[in-house]
Amino acid sequence: MTRRRFMRAIRHIGAALVLSATCAMAHAGFSSLVVIGDSLSDNGNVSALTGGSIPPAPYVGGRFSNGPVAAEAMAGALGIGLQDFAFGGAKTGTDLAGNDSYLWNLGLNNTGMGAQVGMFAASLGGASADPGALYMVWGGPNDFFEPTMTPAMSAGHIGSIISSLYGLGARSFFVPNMPDLGSTPEFLGTALAPTMTGATLAFNALLDAEILGLGLVLPDASFIRFDTFNYFAQVLSRPDDFGFVNVASACISDLACVLNPAVQAQTLFWDGVHPTTAGHAALGLAFVRAIPEPSTALLLFGALAAVGVTGGRRRA
């Protein structure tokens, strides 16, 4: 590792530590983070339900990655607890992608995002949802692998999920859009890439309209949006600024990467569509930066930046 890259890595670590400490103070008002989602947020739910058989090695810790996911990084940076109902393979409806008998026999039927709301409701035991928690609703990509689904249907499902959570008592929602599937290793450079990018853009536009409409009909609801599409576009175009070397191929397809944590830390994607835990960590902190901060926290962060603690890190 060159001195230049070493110093950049140190600056990234310093920025993460400062951001984590600052955000824990800035967003102490959120009591917890509740997550409805898919494999990008699953912190071990599919693994627990299947006795650890899915996902198999070399996936780590029951995640569809080599370590903790963005929701975990986000909750940690905010200094709050995490209630994660996300299941790998979940579509925005009540079922999951594939829906074959093998997966059903493993207990994965009815683990889609819509069904996860039911799981959350059951966990309340008849009580209302905490209005002081932050509710993250993030999904959609698995719908694209089902020929009967359309971007409009997927966006509508997300809206229904938010409305259901609101009915349970939720008031603050964090809703990222979809990253560009056409730019993932699974589709990059293939004939399907333009189709996947077009479908992603269509879904994101419809999701914007869905959230705008919900804001008009759900009193006291607040929505925090995150442009995942643009964020990943920045990472792909300026990987060095985010601490990555390889943003085009999957770590899992290269034994040298699978066996070397140092290489993994500089690789964006673990497999064809899922980030490495390093990619998740960077995304989780970007999520946190999207949350409005009180002016006092901004002043503290600015003062620390002025003495060079966060030098070299760019805002997404």
Please check whether residue 313 lies inside any domain of the structure.
Answer: no
Q: Are 99 and 91 in contact (CB under 8 A)?
A: no
139 within some domain: yes
pLDDT for the residue 90 = 94
Model confidence pLDDT, tens digit, residues 197-215: 999 999 999 999 999 999 9
pLDDT by residue (tens digit) across 4-42? 443 444 344 444 444 444 444 445 479 999 999 999 999
CB 107 within 8 A of CB 49: yes
Q: What is the DSSP string of 28-71?
A: TT--EEEEEESTTT-SSHHHHHTTT-SSPTTS-TTSSSSS--HH
- pTM for the model stands at 0.85
Distance CA 220, CA 209 (A): 18
With respect to residue 97, please indicate whether it lies within any of the assigned structural domains: yes
Q: Tell me the pLDDT tens digit for each residue of 78-118.
A: 999 999 999 999 999 987 665 555 665 676 788 999 999 99
Q: How far apart are CA 176 and CA 289, in angstroms?
A: 13
Q: Is the pLDDT of residue 315 over 50?
A: no
Over residues 241-255, mean pLDDT: 98
The label of the residue with tokens 């996947």 reads 196
90 HSE (CA, 13 A, CB side)? 31
Task: Determine, yes or no, domain membership for 120.
Answer: yes
Report the SS3 class of residue 247: strand
Would you say residue 306 has pLDDT above 60? no
Cβ-contact 109, 103 below 8 angstroms: yes
| 308 found inside a domain | no
Flag whether 250 is in a domain. Answer: yes
Number of domains in the chain: 1
| pLDDT on residue 109 | 80
**Mean pLDDT score, 148-155:** 95
Is residue 301 within 8 A of residue 285, CB to CB? The reply is no
**98: region left, alpha or beta (phi > 0 left; psi from -120 to 50 alpha):** left
Amino acid at 125: G
Indicate whether 90 belongs to any domain.
yes
Distances (CA, A) of 90 to 6, 46, 56, 95, 159: 39, 10, 18, 6, 16
Domain extent at residue 242: 3-300
CATH code of 183's domain: 3.40.50.1110
